[in-house]
Structure 1
Amino acid sequence: MADPVFFAPEGSLSLDDLVALTGARIASAGDGSLRIGGVAPLDEAGAGDVTFVEGPRYLPLLAATQAAACFVVPRHVASVPAGVIALETAKPHDAYVAVLRRLYPAALSPAPLFSPGISPAAHIHPEARLEDGVTVEPGAVVGAGAEIGRGTILAPGCVIGPGVRIGRDCRIGAGATVTHALLGNRVFLHPGVRIGQDGFGYLMSARGHQKVPQVGRVVIQDDVEIGANTTVDRGANRDTVIGEGTKIDNQVQIGHNVVIGRHCVIVSQVGISGSATLGDFVVIGGQAGVIGHARVGNGGQVAATSSVKDDVPPGGRYGGTPARPIKEWYREELALRRLALRELKSAPRDEEES
């Protein structure tokens, strides 16, 4: 069976180009005209590749690397083996990413699976309005009154509901659905994303549960990226909003009326309940939960697997269940561990064995 390579570098860069791109300094003997044609991890890099190392745990791999050059922090320059050019920088990973972006631009956004343009196997309502330069791939469906801006790609099998607005240069992944929503420019929705379905709302009683109509929308601003199989419910009586530049991982659930600020980072399997509010530059770790109507202030950070039931102040770093200031959480965890160890040491032998 063939072993395909899905992303090939587009050209190469000289060491001098790398220095100009990243601000790194050539800290060992090396020819600035040497060409770099790829990037790779320490243990897989070969001649012509650049790699990076930051933490001391990877120094054994650095000692054995076959890379042409390596981005390193100043304290690790002396650990770079002979034959590998040391590129000194305060942020090796940032430099590595800059090279990645330059050499592999095609990996930054999904490309059409078929030829650009409107596939004859797509289903577009006559009342939909598409600007020139929109690509609609086989099996995609666009409803009545939908408006889609130029440069946007609708992947196979995606569904765009009636009246939806999608801006320019967006990517709507295979099998994604978008209803009752307004999307800005450069919004990326990965495969299986669900936007705009009705939220979980019922009027509960002893005679049964009555469905509450959800009559709001979803508003997604520019430069938002949403990972595979994430769901964003439309508002119940106001809009669900995701601010510009926010990045959301796979399998996240965002409830109705949630407002997420600008440039937030929300990691996989997070659940955000209805009417919660996140400020700008908030970070929520994986599998954390935010209860309905709670607020996380600007710059707040919530550790993975935590449960937020009360407001987090701006800049607060919280963790645990229920979430509390992270230093307080650490102290409590340490105290419990010490208590448990004392109990184990003082327990009778027969009790331990039972």
Structure 2
Amino acid sequence: MQPFIQFEAVSKSFGAHTVIDSLDLTIQQGEFLSLLGPSGSGKTTILMMLAGFERPTRGTITLEGTRIDQLPPHRREMGVVFQNYALFPHMTVAENVAFPLEMKKLPRAEIATKVERALDMVRLGQLKNRRPSQLSGGQQQRVALTRALVFEPRVILMDEPLGALDKQLREHMQLEIRELHKRLGLTIVFVTHDQSEALTMSDRIAVFNGGRIEQIDSPFVIYDTPRTRFVAQFIGETNLIEADVVNVQGGRATIALSDDLVAQVDAAPELAKGQKAWFSLRPERMRLGADPAGDNALTMTIADCIYHGDHMRVQLAQGQFTFTARCERLAGDWKVGAPVVVSFDPRDCTVLAP
């Protein structure tokens, strides 16, 4: 199947500084793809090249097999939503939404119908005569989204559109955008540095680091099976420790986390006896006070307990070695300084060759 959008060997440099380096990326029609990474990793530059606000230094960008990297933005049929909304303060909500249709010189009656339908779709019809300054942050965000949707673009591009909202409203808008994506079958390319946001909304996530894709996969694979140390550290929270591979046999590896702590893990194909490896274990995968007869049962000391409302963070130590475990609030009566057995399944951790 031909990719809907395709980047082929795309690079972007600003003077001597290369921001994107030989990027190959395909996006399918109807997909919600998040570009995730720290500041300066190149994700916004990719969005700007796709929108037409920046041109690649090298390489090609195609839409349904047709090159678009030389086309101006208005000929690409893409809606763009920015973090600052970019609404016209002197226009009403309805006038803001109508603006791209007026630029296309559609008949007034058709514009009015499309604007009314689009505002009703995001439950803003009753606010159509207000100006942006009279709206809340969430309402302004919905107006910006509606303006991007109203001319029925082939692709919606979003550059951290929820970054200015408070936590509760941001989570509400994540679900609204996700629902619109499913209902309308939109193709969405979404830039964010928020791991939780990407995991919540995306069909696939491309994790960027230094202008390159470290991993591109479904949220489940990205979280449960990171392929690199960077992805393991960047996505969510993990205990990441450099370990020595003691033995590899029958798909199972024995690794030494320290002189006194040895663990059994599922072996990656590239693991070999005698090499160094990175051991990654999510805090929620650890069980405290569990049956010590399992594959991995490490005796440690509780160094601290931190209350988080719906769960507890338990800091564990043995000598210089530390772990963080996440436990249900009522899972046990953990006392600082007490010994505890920490257990986990070999399948619950990831071991990465360096």
For the aligned pair, the TM-score class normalised by the smaller chain equals under 0.3
Q: Which has the higher contact order (CA 8 A, sep 6+)?
A: 2
Per the normalisation by structure 2, the TM-score is 0.25
Could you state the TM-score of these two structures normalised by the residue count of structure 1?
Answer: 0.25
Structure richer in strand, relative to its length: 2
